[in-house]
Structure formats: structure tokens, C-alpha cells
Amino acid sequence: MKLVTRSRSTVHVAVGVLINDVNEILIAQRPKGKPFPGFWEFPGGKIEPQETPCQALLRELHEELGIEINPDHPLLLGNVKYAYPEFIFQAPVFICTSWERQPQPLEGQRLVWAKPFDLLSYNLLPACKGICLLLQEKTDFIARERKRNIFQDSMNKIIKNVPNPTR
Ligand SMILES: Nc1nc2c([nH]c(=O)n2[C@H]2C[C@H](O)[C@@H](COP(=O)(O)OP(=O)(O)OP(=O)(O)O)O2)c(=O)[nH]1
Ligand SMILES: [Mg+2]
């Protein structure tokens, strides 16, 4: 019997976790016409070959939400990998707590500011569970860097709900 192996390409995606002044997190519902319609995700998009992850993040957040972010501001939390049947999702994940202008749904997506402990009640893309875990793991770091003690408390509440995804 012949063994057929499929090689999956890796898609590099810059992901932004926007946290507002009351420690809510911005999530977006993918519109019809894009892959995975109806699923919720963190804003961001594919990194172009000539871009750094941070440059891609700033461009994507401008295109999708119409906001401007100081290039020195996003804080890299870590990398999340998830194997979909069709491709490997590989994402540097940044947090942002400051930007110019209000986020707007410029690509027909629904936007919601979710409380950290509500995040998992949304139908998130499978790879986003890994992003939630990373947020949870890094709450001390986020609190220290961004003086977000309330955020730390909220994030601690989601720990027991995050299933451990296959990474
Ligand atoms: N932006 C984003 N994409 C995610 C997340 N989780 C996850 O599995 N993905 C997947 C969905 C997509 O198949 C892939 C690329 O993201 P994307 O569709 O946002 O890429 P993009 O903004 O460049 O979109 P496009 O120009 O190709 O239409 O990553 C997430 O939290 N945020
Ligand atoms: Mg996108």
C-alpha cells in the first residue's frame, strides 16, 4: 500500500490582543466570504514576506479597524501554533493597550469588547484557545508591563475553562 503524505503550508499571522481601559478584549467575528465564517478571532492577519510581525500587525489593525498604533507600543507575548487540517497556523501574539481612533468594523466583521472571563463563551477559532492560554500564562507579565492588576484578576478566572489545545 502506498502511503500518501500531505505537506501543509505554514501561515504566519500577526495577532493583536487589544485591551481597553476597562480591561475588555476586542474580538471580531469573521464575515461571510472569508475562511471560517462566523467564528470569533483576535484582530490581525497574514504577515507579508517583506514585513516584520509588528509591521504586519500595525498594517492589519489599520486595514481592519482603522486604528493607528505607535510602533513602539505592541508587546510581544509569545508565539502560538496550531495545526489545522489544511495549514499550520503560526502566530506571534501582541498585546496593545493604546491606539489612536476608535476601532471600527471596516471589513464587515462584528466587533465585541469581551470580558476576559467571557471570552470562551464565544465560538472562537480553535487556534484562539492557545492564544487565551498564552494570555492566561502571561498575566503577571501583562500586569507588570501595563499596570493591569484588574486584568490579572479577570484572566485568572478563565484558567479552569481553557481546554488544552493540541499545539
Ligand atoms: N487574524 C486572526 N486569524 C486567525 C486567528 N486564529 C486563527 O486560527 N486564525 C486564522 C484564520 C485564517 O485562516 C488565518 C489568517 O488570518 P486572516 O484571515 O485574519 O488573514 P488576513 O486578515 O490577512 O485576511 P485576508 O487578507 O487573507 O482575507 O489565521 C486569530 O485569532 N486572528
Ligand atoms: Mg484578518
CATH no. for residue 121?
Answer: 3.90.79.10
Mean pLDDT of 116-123: 91
Domain assignment of residue 1, yes or no:
no
Domain assignment of residue 122, yes or no:
yes
Range of the domain at 57: 10-161
Query: Distance from the CA of 123 to the center of ligand 1, in angstroms?
Result: 15
Tell me what ipTM this predicted complex has. Answer: 0.96
Domain assignment of residue 148, yes or no:
yes
CA distance 126 to 34: 16
> Apex CA 142: angle with CA 41 and CA 166, to 5°?
45
CA distance 110 to 129: 19
35 lines ligand 1 (CB under 6 A): yes
Ion ligand 2 residues within 5 Å by Cβ: 45
Write the pLDDT tens digit of every residue in 28-86: 999 999 999 999 999 999 999 999 999 999 999 999 999 999 998 899 999 999 999 99
Domain assignment of residue 72, yes or no:
yes
Is 30 annotated to bind a ligand? Reply is yes
What's the whole-model pTM score? 0.88
Domain count, the chain: 1
40 lines ligand 1 (CB under 6 A): no
Domain assignment of residue 2, yes or no:
no
Domain assignment of residue 5, yes or no:
no
